[in-house]
Amino acid sequence: MIEAIQITDPDSIVSALKAVVGEDHVLTRPEDVEGYLTDWTGQYRAPALAVARPASTAEVAELIKLCNACNIAVVPQGGRTGLCGGGVPVAGRETLVVSLTRMNAVRSLDVDGRTVIAEAGVVLETLHDAALKHDLVFPLMFGAKGSCTIGGNLSTNAGGSNVVRYGNTRELCLGIEAVLPDGSVINALTGLRKDNTGYDLKDLLIGAEGTLGIITAAVFKLFPAPKARSTAFLSVAGLDSALKVLNRLQDHTGGGVEAFEYMPQPAVDVICKVFPAIRRPLEGKVATGILVEVASSRPHDAAEMQDGTIRLATEVTELLGELMEEGLVLDAMVAQSEQQRADLWKMREAILEAITENGPAHHLDLSLPLARIARFVGEMDAEMDRLGFQPLTVGHLGDGNLHYALSAAKGRDWDALPLETAKEKVFALLTELGGSFSAEHGIGQSKLAVMTKLKEPAQLDVMRSIKRALDPGNIINPGKLLPPG
Ligand SMILES: Cc1cc2nc3c(=O)[nH]c(=O)nc-3n(C[C@H](O)[C@H](O)[C@H](O)COP(=O)(O)OP(=O)(O)OC[C@H]3O[C@@H](n4cnc5c(N)ncnc54)[C@H](O)[C@@H]3O)c2cc1C
């Protein structure tokens, strides 16, 4: 039994870890461990005793019991595409990184029930492919899909571009299997769509950023694959007009809008500057650019019209014509081929890399009530300009989410800019307008200060009580999500 092991030094701990997951799956050499110590941002790095790569839920449970017995912190880790320093060790605590990447089986797919059970280490794109083989989709979609894992998606309650139609990861999940901080396992993979038997522990673990346990598998909803799509890049008259355009498209297509992405001129400029091969979808200045995608799984919408076009595309194009006549849409480029559609998405998904390559920037992940976004962007862009910043904004506008990145305006020295003042201004208006300082990326280590400042104290108290109740030794992912206090 693990509890009985007398662990006195790092070497014997490593031996005990190897006894659980096998010699080859405990990494300790600095060159092997290094890649597991940072996430995509590269901003946070601290040492770890070792990296363990378990292959089963039972092994995860044994690892956690071992770490409890030795007072070693455990950091659950997936694809390391997190943007808040949540999946990497923190300094000052002996830490074991538990990488779930070997738990990468799609355990079963119920075609008739339209559900899939996948292990935590399954890469998001792998799940997309598994569903598509059955003419179904798992609709969670964003730029890191080729590297992020569904364990990380659940733990950050990831969003992305299809939330406007399908919801966040939380809405897509029907149940989870997880190892709690004491090593006990909860197994709720029944896939029931109705189960009112008390507190929903899955909802507690989703969005917990690995602070309440390690998710080892989950059951997700699947949806019919679209048979027709219409994708376009629009220049709209302003953000208020954009909301009207969104609602008109929704009304017209029976809620068929899958993505409604805000891409204003500065964002498109920086993408085209960093990646010259990416072509601008529209000539001239596009103050308020929108990448919109409408999709339908109805054969009726996929029917070919007499002129060779697809009915859905024709209807969307006709509606865009009406919206242009009304002055809501100023210009539009409708993708005429799968290649043109792919190019538009390539441009959208290049933004994070483009901003990173472009120079220093501070990334804010905000959400606001839809009707207040225009006021926020109008006032804040002007304020940031006064302070010497150039906001490089994109957003999942359909669900009120703005990725508001502050970069240095042309000719300004980043190090001399008043970043703290800028953040205070952003958070003040955000609070006044009823927004959130973390829409979809989570808190990790990067937003602990603002969490202390802006999260309602009563809610923080409850969160701390839950953490203490489940993890009295503060073993699982310490120093993340919950600010000290
Ligand atoms: C180019 C790019 C684009 C992105 N776009 C979006 C976007 O549009 N929307 C969005 O929401 N996010 C986006 N992200 C952020 C990121 O991809 C997501 O947060 C993703 O869900 C993280 O998954 P991961 O497997 O990489 O997790 P990691 O980075 O490894 O970990 C993230 C957090 O989850 C915890 N965790 C990981 N696995 C488990 C597990 N099995 N059990 C318990 N806890 C676990 C970690 O401890 C950590 O706190 C983007 C990132 C990049 C690099």
Please give the full DSSP string across 115-127, using - where no structure is assigned.
EEEEETT-BHHHH
**Mean pLDDT of the region 387-416:** 97
Q: Which candidate, 162, 277, 276, 269, places its Cα nearest to that of 226? A: 162
Which residue matches tokens 């976004």? Answer: 373
Please report the pLDDT score of residue 307 as a whole number: 86
Q: Which candidate, 433, 295, 409, 422, places its Cα nearest to that of 360? A: 409
| pLDDT surpassing 80 at residue 6 | no
| pLDDT surpassing 50 at residue 433 | yes
* Strand order across the beta sheet in which 185-187 lies: 106-110, 115-119, 214-221, 173-179, 185-187
Least confident of 42-56, 150-164, 300-314, 454-468: 300-314
Q: Which atom of ligand 1 is nearest to the CA of 147?
A: 26
Contact 270, 354 (CB under 8 A): yes
| CA-proximal residue: ligand 1, atom 20 (nearest) | 153
| pLDDT surpassing 80 at residue 1 | no
Which residue matches tokens 């490089």? Answer: 392
| CA-proximal residue: ligand 1, atom 37 (nearest) | 152
Contact 348, 260 (CB under 8 A): no
For 203-230, letters b (16+ CB in 10 Å) and e give: eebbbbbbbbbbbbbbbbbbbeebbbbb
Tens-place pLDDT, residues 373-401: 999 999 999 999 999 999 999 999 999 99
Give the distance (Å) from ligand 1 centre to CA of residue 255: 28
What is the radius of gyration, based on Cα positions, of the chain?
A: 24
Tokens of 128: 């997309």
| pLDDT surpassing 60 at residue 4 | no
Please report the pLDDT score of residue 244 as a whole number: 97
* Residue 248 φ then ψ, to 5°: -65, -40
Give the distance (Å) from ligand 1 centre to CA of residue 421: 29
**Any ligand 1 atom below 6 A from CB of 393:** no
Residue 465 burial class via C-beta count within 10 angstroms: exposed 0-12, middle 13-18, buried 19 and up: exposed
Q: Which candidate, 127, 34, 42, places its Cα nearest to that of 353? A: 42
Give the distance (Å) from ligand 1 centre to CA of residue 148: 6
Q: What is the mean pLDDT of the chain?
A: 96
User: How confident is residue 297, by pLDDT bands cut at 50, 70 and 90?
Assistant: very high
Q: Which atom of ligand 1 is nearest to the CA of 120?
A: 41
**Mean pLDDT of the region 283-296:** 94
**Any ligand 1 atom below 6 A from CB of 143:** yes
**Any ligand 1 atom below 6 A from CB of 79:** yes
**Any ligand 1 atom below 6 A from CB of 87:** yes
**Any ligand 1 atom below 6 A from CB of 437:** no
Q: Ligand 1: which of 63, 83, 202 to mutate, most ligand atoms within 8 Å of CB?
A: 83
Residue 331: strand pairing partners: 235
Cα separation of 38 and 164, whole Å? Answer: 31
Residue 402 is classified by DSSP as E
Please report the pLDDT score of residue 8 as a whole number: 60
Q: Residue 201's CB: how many other CB atoms inside 10 A? A: 17
Sign, CA dihedral 382-384-390-392, equals negative
Give the distance (Å) from ligand 1 centre to CA of residue 85: 10
Cα separation of 290 and 395, whole Å? Answer: 9
Cα separation of 192 and 139, whole Å? Answer: 19
Tens-place pLDDT, residues 163-190: 999 999 999 999 999 999 999 999 999 9
| pLDDT surpassing 80 at residue 2 | no
**Mean pLDDT of the region 299-311:** 92
Tens-place pLDDT, residues 217-263: 999 999 999 999 999 999 999 999 999 999 999 999 999 999 999 99
Contact 118, 217 (CB under 8 A): yes
**Any ligand 1 atom below 6 A from CB of 476:** no
Q: Ligand 1: which of 77, 364, 447 to mutate, most ligand atoms within 8 Å of CB?
A: 77
Q: Residue 479's CB: how many other CB atoms inside 10 A? A: 24
**Mean pLDDT of the region 437-451:** 97
| pLDDT surpassing 50 at residue 35 | yes
Terminal-to-terminal C-alpha distance of the chain? 35
| pLDDT surpassing 80 at residue 424 | yes
User: How confident is residue 7, by pLDDT bands cut at 50, 70 and 90?
Assistant: low
